[in-house]
Amino acid sequence: MTDAKSRIEDTVKSSDVVLYMKGTKDMPQCGFSSRVAGVLNYMGVEFADVNVLADEDIRQGIKDYSDWPTIPQLYVKGEFVGGCDIITEMTLSGELDQLFEQNGVTYDKAAAEKIREANA
């Protein structure tokens, strides 16, 4: 598992935003992954996507790495942020905007507001 752990560490440290997901950002293969990728895509966030379905070592390794049992998992500047429910809550509360701003991650503020307006 150390190979998977080092690959995961390299990935989360080499990109500002990384989403470990089932499928890809262009073709998610589960509803939860689709929701998080959809939010990031809609907000114009540049992010690396890692398809855990393509590599069983990474699929299990990411759960061990974060000590979080589910996928998707979002990382910002190397730090684990959360899964689908947490990202949804953070988007609706504006916390995700704050996290991006604190970490210098570019996103579309107007798109973030539209998401909140649509879910008010």
Task: Residue 115: count other Cβ atoms within 10 Å of its Cβ.
Answer: 17
Task: Residue 57: count other Cβ atoms within 10 Å of its Cβ.
Answer: 14
**Domain extents for the chain?**
2-118
Q: What is the pLDDT of residues 60-89, one digit of tens each?
A: 999 999 999 999 999 999 999 999 999 999
pLDDT value at 2 more than 80 = no
Residues belonging to the binding site are 30
pLDDT value at 118 more than 60 = yes
Residues belonging to the binding site for [2Fe-2S] cluster are 30
Asked whether 33 and 61 are in contact (CB, 8 A), the reply is: no
CATH class, range 2-118: alpha beta
**pTM to 2 decimals?**
0.95
62: tokens are: 């990411």
Backbone angles phi and psi of 104, in degrees to 5: 70, 30
DSSP state of 28: B
